[in-house]
C-alpha cells in the first residue's frame, strides 16, 4: 500500500474535486458554462456518480462527484481507485464531511501486497487542514495495521510474530514490552493459556505492552491472539478452518487501537495484554473432558476444544484486573453466533454498564463505525454449570452462543468497567473503502469514545 503521506496531503494545490448533493445538481449544472453542460450531456453522465471535466485546452480540469447524501461515509472509497493519476483538492465548509471523505479515500486505497504486487492508485487528495490530515492519517494507519495482521497467513503470523509487532510498537512510541513464553506460563500462573497452546511447535506466550504516564487513568486492552485455530481435537471441518488465520483478529484490533492511542498521545496509562497461541493437534493437546485451572483460581471443564478463545482470554482478563483499570476492553473473534445474530459486518459488544453502552453506541455512530450491544442475560449462566468443575467452557446448547461466551468471560472481570467485543475482523465482500479481507471493526468507535472520555 502506498504510504498515507503520499495519498493525503495538507494544502490547496490540486485539481478541484467538487462534491455535490444530488438534490442540488440541477442548480449547479445550470450555473456552469454551456460547454460543460454539453460535455456532461454528450458523455451520458447520470447522477449520482462522478465525471471528469476537461478545460479549454483539453486537459483534465475538474472532477465532479454527485452523491445522494454528502454527509454519508465512504464517499471517496471507490473514487480513489477510479481517478487518473494526479492531485485533487477537496474543499468543504463541513469538517465532518472532509474527514469522512479523507478517511474513505485512504481506506479505499489499501492494498495487501506482501506476497503479490497489486496495482495501487497514484492519486493524492489535498485538503487545506493540516490537523485534519494528521488525524485521518493516524486513523488509516491503525486500520491498515489491523488489516495487514489479519491478512497475513498463519505461517508468517504465529505468536512470535505478534510479539515482534507489539515490541516494535513499544520501541516506536517509547513504551515497554515483555512476554512470558512456553512453560514459564505455568510457573507464573497462566495455566489456561499454556493448555491451549502447548501442542503447537510455536510456543504459547502472553504479550504485555505498557505505555504512558502512571498518573493517568488506566486503560487496559486484551486481544485474543489465536494465530491459527484447527479446533484442536474437536477439529473443524475444512470449510470452517479455511479462514482461521483471522482468529488472531482480536489481537490485531488491540494492536491497531494501541498504535492509534499512542500516535494521538491520548492521556492514559495504557496496557495491552495478548494471549498468543496456536490451537494445534498433537499428542499433548488438551482434550474434551479435561479440567483446566485458570489464573483466577476457577476450574473449567472443557466441553469442546474449539471454544479455546475464551480459555486464553480468561487468564489475560484476570491479570488485567490486578491493575484495577478504569476501563478494560477486550476484542475477540469469539463466536459464530454473533455473526448469526448481527451478520458479518456489524460487531457485537457486551458490558455490564448501561452508561458505557450508551456512550459507546453514540461514538460508533459519530465515527461511522457502528456497533451493537447484546445482552449479558444472566439466566443463561445456568448453561455454564459443571458437575465437576466451577464452570464449563461452552454449553451443550447451540442457542445464544455469543451471550454464553460473554457470560463466561464475565466470571473473570468486574463487568461495570468492562467491554467485550465479538468481531468478525474480516470483510466477506468488497465495498467502497472496505476491500475484502482483514478489517478493523469497532476500533474507530472505541477510539472516538476514548477521546470523548479522556480528552
Q: Point out the residues that are catalytic.
A: 236, 310
Rounded Cα gap, residues 429 and 427, in angstroms: 5
Rounded Cα gap, residues 265 and 184, in angstroms: 33
Q: Give backbone dihedrals phi and psi of 300, rounded to 5 degrees, phi first.
A: -130, 125
261: cell is 492511542
373, with CB counted inside 10 A (0-12, 13-18, 19+), is middle
Q: Please name which of 60, 67, 57 lies closest in space to residue 100, comparing C-alpha atoms.
A: 67
Name, in order, each residue with C-beta under 8 angstroms of 115's C-beta and a sequence gap of 6 or more. Answer: none
CB-CB neighbours of 54 under 10 Å: 14
Residue written as grid cell 472496505: 434
Name, in order, each residue with C-beta under 8 angstroms of 100's C-beta and a sequence gap of 6 or more. Answer: 71, 72, 73, 74, 75, 368
In 3-state terms, what secondary structure has residue 211?
strand
Sheet containing 299-301, strands listed edge to edge, beginning at the edge strand earlier in sequence: 291-293, 299-301, 391-392
The region that residue 288 occupies, defined by phi over 0 for left and psi between -120 and 50 for alpha, beta otherwise, is beta
Check: CB of residue 444 under 8 Å from CB of residue 348. no
Q: Kindly compute the dihedral angle of the four CA atoms of residues 388, 394, 397, 401, in this order, to the nearest 10 degrees.
A: 150
Amino acid at each position: 500500500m502506498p504510504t498515507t503521506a503520499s495519498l493525503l496531503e495538507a494544502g490547496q494545490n490540486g485539481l478541484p474535486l467538487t462534491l455535490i448533493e444530488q438534490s442540488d445538481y440541477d442548480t449547479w449544472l445550470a450555473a456552469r458554462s454551456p460547454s460543460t453542460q454539453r460535455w456532461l450531456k454528450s458523455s451520458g453522465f447520470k447522477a449520482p456518480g462522478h465525471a471528469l471535466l476537461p478545460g479549454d485546452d483539453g486537459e483534465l480540469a475538474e472532477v465532479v462527484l454527485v452523491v445522494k447524501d454528502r454527509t454519508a461515509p465512504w464517499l471517496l472509497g471507490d473514487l480513489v481507485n477510479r481517478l487518473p493519476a494526479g492531485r485533487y483538492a477537496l474543499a468543504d465548509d463541513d469538517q465532518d464531511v472532509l474527514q469522512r471523505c479523507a478517511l474513505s479515500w485512504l481506506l479505499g486505497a489499501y492494498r495487501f501486497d506482501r506476497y503479490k504486487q497489486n496495482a495501487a492508485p497514484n492519486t493524492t487528495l489535498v485538503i487545506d487542514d493540516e490537523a485534519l490530515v494528521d488525524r485521518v492519517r493516524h486513523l488509516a494507519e491503525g486500520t491498515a495495521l489491523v488489516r495487514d495482521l489479519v491478512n497475513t497467513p498463519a505461517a508468517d503470523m504465529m505468536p512470535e510474530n505478534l510479539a515482534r509487532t507489539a515490541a516494535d510498537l513499544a520501541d516506536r512510541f517509547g513504551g515497554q514490552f515483555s512476554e512470558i513464553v512456553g512453560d514459564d506460563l505455568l510457573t507464573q500462573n497462566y495455566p489456561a493459556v499454556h493448555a491451549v497452546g502447548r501442542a503447537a511447535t510455536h510456543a504459547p506466550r502472553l504479550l504485555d505492552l505498557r505505555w504512558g504516564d502512571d498518573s493517568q487513568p488506566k486503560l487496559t486492552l486484551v486481544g485474543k491472539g489465536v494465530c491459527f485455530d484447527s479446533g484442536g481435537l474437536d477439529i473443524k471441518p475444512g470449510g470452517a478452518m479455511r479462514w482461521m488465520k483471522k482468529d488472531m483478529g482480536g489481537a490485531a484490533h488491540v494492536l491497531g487501537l494501541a498504535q492509534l492511542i499512542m500516535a494521538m498521545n491520548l492521556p492514559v496509562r495504557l496496557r495491552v495484554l495478548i494471549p498468543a497461541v496456536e490451537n494445534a493437534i498433537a499428542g499433548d493437546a488438551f482434550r474434551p473432558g479435561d479440567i483446566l485451572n485458570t489464573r483466577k483460581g476457577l476450574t473449567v471443564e472443557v466441553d469442546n476444544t474449539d471454544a479455546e478463545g475464551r480459555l486464553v482470554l480468561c487468564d489475560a482478563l484476570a491479570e488485567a484486573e490486578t491493575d484495577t483499570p478504569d476501563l478494560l476492553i477486550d476484542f475477540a473473534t469469539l463466536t459464530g453466533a454473533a455473526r448469526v445474530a448481527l451478520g458479518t459486518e456489524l460487531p457485537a459488544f457486551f458490558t455490564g454498564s448501561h452508561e458505557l453502552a450508551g456512550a459507546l453506541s453514540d461514538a460508533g455512530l459519530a465515527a461511522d463505525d457502528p456497533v451493537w450491544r447484546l445482552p449479558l442475560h444472566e439466566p443463561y449462566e445456568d448453561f455454564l454449570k459443571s458437575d465437576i468443575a466451577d464452570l464449563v467452557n461452552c454449553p451443550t446448547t447451540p442457542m445464544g452462543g455469543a451471550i454464553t461466551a460473554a457470560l463466561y468471560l464475565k466470571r473473570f472481570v468486574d463487568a461495570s468497567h468492562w467491554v467485550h467485543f465479538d468481531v468478525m475482523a474480516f470483510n466477506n465482500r468488497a465495498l467502497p473503502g472496505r476491500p475484502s479481507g482483514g478489517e478493523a471493526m469497532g476500533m474507530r468507535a472505541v477510539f472516538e469514545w476514548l477521546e470523548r472520555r479522556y480528552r
